[in-house]
Structure 1
Amino acid sequence: MANEHPRRKIVVTTPTGHVGSRVVQLLLQAGVRPTLLLRAPDRLDAQTRDRVDVVQGDQGDADIVLRATRGADALFWVDPPTPDDDPASGYARMGANAARAVEENGIARTVFLSSVGAEKRHGAGEIDGLARTEEMLDATGAGVLHLRCGYFFTNLLMGLEALRTGVLETTWPLDYSMAWVDPRDIGDIVATRLLADSWSGRRVQAVHGPRDLTFAQVAEILSRALGREIRAARISDDDVRTALRAAGASTGQIEGIVGMSIGLRENFVPENERTVLTTTPTTLEAWAHAHLRPAL
């Protein structure tokens, strides 16, 4: 068909996640048949399954990653959740597999889902592993775009129990302003970059959502969107540690999670300023009405 892209191989990791599923949808609509690397193909709906190529396996398996990306023109890489006791080391281990695949398979362009805070390189909990992945991908000399994303709207889904009682819990100061973003908007940027063949070299692009928000402002927005009173309440790092320990997390995993907020809320200024290139359209109020309200 005239509107289809020439045959190219685009590999997508974590294709059933909040960002990856959007990337897959847009690639299909653009006329591309992507290759998906995932552990559980049964999580794909039947219509999608018929329109993609699947490599089943774990991103922690270097041989699987090499096989999935052989002949690839472009790669969307996400360091997936890891069972490692030290999450930052786990992410770095996954990132090493990506870098090896880029080098050995000659992948021209890689879009990497990084995070605000990766520019610190050290001292940001789990994000340190994303920073290490950035460095390893940079060392390949291939084209790589690091998307340093803000705080996902979907993180609110992890606090449903407290929200049902009217409380938005956080370890961040209630007046600390930071970027909040809809993962679907990140997916839009990823797909656009994967489809474009006009860029090369190392690039960094932040994804900041429509505007920076404090948790106090988020509580006000949620109150309007959900039709119920929500108040923001700051909890201690030790409260989070206790809850994570009760859920079975190891000490290393706990400190990786707690370390993210500690590392970014104290004397941290993001490297990438908000510009027209970093600002995405979906508002928190619209997202919460569409996705959070039904979950409550």
Structure 2
Amino acid sequence: MTIVVTTPTGNVGSRVTRLLVQAGVRPRLLLRDPARLEPGLRAHVDAVPVDLTDRDAVLRATEGATALYWVCPPTGADDPVAAAAELGETAARAVSTHGIGHTVFQSSVGAEKRSGAGDIDGLAHTEEALDAASDTTGAAVCHLRCGYFTTNLLMDVDDLRAGVLRTPWDLDAPMPWVDPRDDGDVAAARLLAADWTGRQVQAVHGPADLTWHEVAEVVSTATGHPVRAERISDDDLRAGLTAAGLTQRQVEAVVGMAAGLRDLEPEDPRTVLTSTPTTLAAWAHEHLRPLLAA
């Protein structure tokens, strides 16, 4: 079994890597800088320095793979949707060229729309490319459609310290909140299993859907730092992203994602198969409490 893992130092990929190693697998890790790996892991993996935007390098690095965990990471490209789509084409080419039997793709809730969801449209294009590869080769592919990652709150620490949780979404609309580590658990389980076939979608919804008011209450209780939810307009979001240095296309990709996910009912409903255990309260106590107490 040769399992290739992309973005192995990311929030999900690092969890996938650790679980594979603990299961007795020696994964092949594709990353730009192998020095970023935890020192204790280096003896248990095969690290290959690769830029995922280099298609030829990716094809060389995936030769002989039996399974693939694929992520379309941010590239800094002016058009992030097109960049993600190109990465997806690279993954599909690797599957077709090498006959990779199983691929687990890190997708997102909203990809089922196929268009009109900003940044997520690039993931939808990747799903379609991998589906086409599956159709022509018989390879199995599973799209992990995840809810809103708890780690997104780490981008708002300054606002949270000021007691405000700002969002462009309806404050009373519930959303699935997911700890990326739980997503890694699902991804690793899929990679280690060899008896599933065809095209599959596996939603990862966390333990509960929460409104933004509920999120603010949970964060306040878990951290001991009072926080209130505040809705901002799309124009306010644009202004903030522009001030942060994003290009116009990058800004519109984020704004489009926010708009595209409003009133979205995930294609894969919440069931025992799609619910994962880690609560927002547990995550916030572990990760946010030290930052807000500083």
Same fold (TM over 0.5): yes
Q: Which residue of 2 aligns with 1:3?
A: none
Does residue 177 of structure 2 align to residue 191 of structure 1?
Answer: no
Map of 1:107-118 to 2, 5 A cutoff? 107-118=100-111
Q: Could you tell me which amino acid in structure 1 is paired with residue 208 of structure 2?
A: R
Q: Which residue of 1 aligns with 2:68?
A: 75
| Matching residue within 276, 285, 289 for 1:289 | 285
| CA apart distance, 1:68 | 1.3
* Post-superposition CA distance 1:127-149 (Å, at most 9, x none): 00000000000001220000000
Does residue 157 of structure 2 align to residue 160 of structure 1?
Answer: yes
| CA apart distance, 1:246 | 1.5
| Matching residue within 131, 135, 158 for 1:138 | 131
Q: CA RMSD in A?
A: 0.8
Matched position secondary structure for 2:271: coil
Q: Which residue of 1 aligns with 2:23?
A: 30
Map of 1:1-296 to 2, 5 A cutoff? 8-141=1-134, 142-265=139-262, 267-296=263-292
Q: Could you tell me which amino acid in structure 1 is paired with residue 41 of structure 2?
A: T
Matched position secondary structure for 1:123: coil
Q: Partners of 2:40 and 2:223 in 1: how far apart? A: 33
Structure 2: unaligned runs, 5 residues or longer: none
Q: Partners of 1:155 and 1:269 in 2: how far apart? A: 21
* Post-superposition CA distance 1:85-118 (Å, at most 9, x none): 1111110000000000000011000000000000
Q: Partners of 1:95 and 1:282 in 2: how far apart? A: 29
Q: Could you tell me which amino acid in structure 2 is paired with residue 229 of structure 1?
A: P
Matched position secondary structure for 2:239: helix
Q: Could you tell me which amino acid in structure 1 is paired with residue 8 of structure 2?
A: P
* Post-superposition CA distance 1:54-113 (Å, at most 9, x none): 110111111111111100010000001022211111100000000000000110000000
Matched position secondary structure for 1:147: strand
* Post-superposition CA distance 1:210-229 (Å, at most 9, x none): 01000000000011001121
Q: Partners of 2:194 and 2:57 in 1: how far apart? A: 26
| CA apart distance, 1:41 | 1.1
Structure 1: unaligned runs, 5 residues or longer: 1-7
**Structure 1 moving runs of 4+ over 2 Å:** none
| CA apart distance, 1:42 | 1.3
Q: Partners of 2:182 and 2:63 in 1: how far apart? A: 28
Q: Which residue of 2 aligns with 1:5?
A: none
Q: Partners of 2:82 and 2:30 in 1: how far apart? A: 21
Matched position secondary structure for 1:180: strand
Q: Partners of 1:46 and 1:151 in 2: how far apart? A: 30
| CA apart distance, 1:191 | 0.5
Q: Could you tell me which amino acid in structure 1 is paired with residue 92 of structure 2?
A: A
Matched position secondary structure for 1:193: helix
Instruction: Please report the TM-score for the alignment, with normalisation by the length of structure 2.
Output: 0.97
Q: Partners of 1:85 and 1:281 in 2: how far apart? A: 37
The number of aligned residues is 288
| CA apart distance, 1:295 | 2.1
Q: Could you tell me which amino acid in structure 1 is paired with residue 23 of structure 2?
A: A
| CA apart distance, 1:167 | 0.7
* Post-superposition CA distance 1:5-45 (Å, at most 9, x none): xxx11000000000000000000100111000001111112
| CA apart distance, 1:277 | 0.3
| CA apart distance, 1:156 | 0.3
Q: Partners of 1:134 and 1:114 in 2: how far apart? A: 8
Matched position secondary structure for 1:42: helix
| CA apart distance, 1:268 | 2.5
